[in-house]
């Protein structure tokens, strides 16, 4: 069950709404979207890894970046259902450019 929503701002100034879940607290559905592994720092959230997928159910359990997100203190995952691949890719890039997550390598130098 979601523990609320968070608005993330991208490099472009665009904002995106995400539902917040504690890591390991939910069974993922076969839906496409964007996701952010994050930790709370004071009243703010810090992105640890930002990604997109065609299926939360297939991608999130056993994610290849779990060791990195764990080392960097991620406690939650934020998700945004997004059915359109081009929109998911654009959102992912926009957020990575703004937040420069520790575990992402793509788009950092762009």
- Segments in the chain below pLDDT 50: 110
- Tell me which DSSP letter residue 68 carries: H
**Among the four given CATH numbers 1.10.3720.10, 3.40.1440.10, 1.10.150.530, 3.40.50.150, the one describing domain 5-99:** 3.40.1440.10
- The pLDDT value recorded for residue 33 is 97
* pLDDT for res 3: 72
pLDDT for 34 equals: 98
pLDDT value, residue 1 = 52
Distance of CA 40 to the CA centre of its chain: 13
User: Which one, of 68, 25, 18, lies nearest residue 48 by Cα?
Assistant: 68
> pTM of this prediction?
0.92
pLDDT of the residue at 26: 74
Rounded Cα distance between 69 and 55, Å, is: 20
Bridge partners of 53?
A: 33
Q: What is the pLDDT of residue 107?
A: 59
Given this model, what pLDDT does residue 2 score? 59
pLDDT digits (tens, 9 = 90+) for 46-62: 999 999 999 999 999 88
Domain boundaries of the chain, sorted by first residue? 5-99
């Amino acid at each position: 069950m979601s523990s609320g929503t968070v608005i993330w701002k991208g490099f472009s100034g665009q904002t995106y709404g995400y539902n917040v879940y504690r890591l390991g607290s939910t069974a993922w559905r076969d839906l496409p979207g964007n996701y952010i592994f994050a930790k709370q720092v004071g009243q703010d959230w810090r992105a640890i890894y930002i990604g997109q997928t065609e299926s939360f159910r297939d991608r999130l359990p056993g994610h290849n970046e779990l060791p990195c997100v764990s080392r960097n203190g991620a406690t939650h995952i934020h998700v945004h259902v997004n059915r359109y691949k081009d929109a998911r890719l654009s959102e992912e890039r926009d957020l990575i450019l703004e937040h420069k997550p520790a575990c992402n390598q793509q788009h950092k130098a762009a």
